[in-house]
Structure 1
Amino acid sequence: MRCVLSAVLLPLILRSCTGADWCYQTQVSCPSPCKGPDRWSEVNLDCGKNRQSPINIVTKKTKLDERLTPFKFTGYQTLFESTMKNNGHSVKVSIPITATVSGGNLGETYKAVQFHLHWGTNGGPGSEHTIDGEQYPMELHIVHMKQRYNRLEDALRDPSGVAVLGFFYEVSSSANKKYDLFTQGLRSIQNTNGNTTLSKISLNQLILSEANMTNYYRYDGSLTTPGCTEAVVWTVFENPIPLDGEQLQAFSNLKFSDGKQMVGTFRPVQPRNGRVVYRSSGVAVVASAVLILVSISAALGLSRMN
């Protein structure tokens, strides 16, 4: 009788450990029926292709591209009201106004569709992209699609149909007042499918300013969640946005659909597979300034020795 029961129960137990839904590594455990990042290609074949995101940006291997000029933004300063939602994987906000970005060698004008974030555990490392191996506490993605498309699904069929602007966050000693309404709203959406109204917010508030956005990296990649579609022109900005520890920790109070603490919501970096990562002249200027300072310091040291 025991053998019969074992024969019946074993397949059920195994099935419960091999569900078809995707999840982050922090959610992976038997009997949790989800597949972590290393198995996302089983959920969607595109996740195993050669142009995946995020990546580690090795600054010394980036290539200067003079065409990466400053962007032109419209509507980023406009205040809007929208719904902030816990979608079971992140916090997501749709953008109901016309806000566009062009320039920066994008080729076309792209309109903003939504933004969402990726974070670690209680303010610890959690960005998706890394810079020279450094992982920031959190990363903001503002998702745009080519203005000529009406649906994101159509834009994703175009190899450059989507443009995502990525911004890092850093820990600050003081609170970022521009994020007060946003972090307060998180208290109302702790459970999956929880939503609340987010009012009087602009995209400029999130990124702090359009003025200091000339230092950035560019490469061709993919969505960072299944289906991992390789249709994204990535722009990753160098200058991080400051939040204090309490503001960063507020994101970790959200819950996944399985009730677990929503932490570690990032995909590990993917192989670059020969792709070139370009840098704007702004990044190059910063690098040159550092080299100049080093040279001056060295010269002063030599003069003192003489």
Structure 2
Amino acid sequence: MQIEIHGLVVVIHNICKDDRINLLSLLHINVNSFVIDSIKRRTKLTYSFKDEESVCITINSECDYVMLILHGSFFDNSPDFRLRKFLVFLSIFKHTFKQLDVAFNDDLNCLTLRELRHWVRNSKEYCTGSLVARNPPKYLTVERKFDAIQLGSARSTMNYGTIYRRPNTGFFRIEIKVKNKDKIGYILKKYSTKYPQQFHKRCLQLLDSCINFVTPSSKRRRVIEKQPSWEAFLGSDIKKIKWKAVHDAQRAHRQESESVSVAKKTQRLGSSLRNTVSRLSTILPEHEVLNLISEKSGYKLVKDDDI
């Protein structure tokens, strides 16, 4: 199996003009290659590859945030882009992941259309997972020929999936669109091209939680046994993930990061204030400097001689 990132949507908060330029350099796209559309305080930059939208950057100058959309065509045709380096850049800012597309390619031809069609048409017996828990998968055809298998709803705020044959390879491909920021953060935290094992493991945990093709007898017994060809496609035994534990860990991490950020910002502010008062005290008495700063800021400042 080949696993790849095939789409990413992220909002980056409080990003200044210089950092936006750095963002473009990480994408390895010349700014002159974008089509630019400006409306009031919003600027939209669109880059297309072979007439297909590949990158969309929406800049809101009033709120200093950027929404970045990287489509599949960008990942397919950007050999110089380094996702790991981009994720390090993101870590500098407060950011919110909106969607991650993960693709699983059956490059070893483990799956067959005959089996997939049988499993999907008898999903109550053969299918488990969050994407088929409420609604059965849909077997879609065009002119009576196989087109795709739809897993879940595209309107879902959590996950959505599609199984289809990729035209350029003929292999079956499963794409999962993840829309939960905690799940996206969990998966991308271990992204590495040099040591991909942990990243692949987390991607497979995602797939396993979304869709599984199992034997009817094991489903009745609730002791899941995967279909042999599906197990061969996965390539390894996957332990069921507890997403609640992931959500709790991500929430704790965010709270800790916010506390560290507040501590650093207040420390810098305190140092800056002491330095300012020290410089101005050569011109005015210190208490007058503090009174002037209080008037301008609206906060009463009193020196603590114990500090």
Q: Give yes or no for TM over 0.5.
A: no
Between Structure 1 and Structure 2, which shows a larger proportion of helix residues? 2
Query: Shorter chain as normaliser: what TM range?
Result: under 0.3
TM-score between both structures, scaled by the size of structure 2 = 0.25
Q: Give the structure with higher Rg (CA).
A: 2
TM-score between both structures, scaled by the size of structure 1 = 0.25
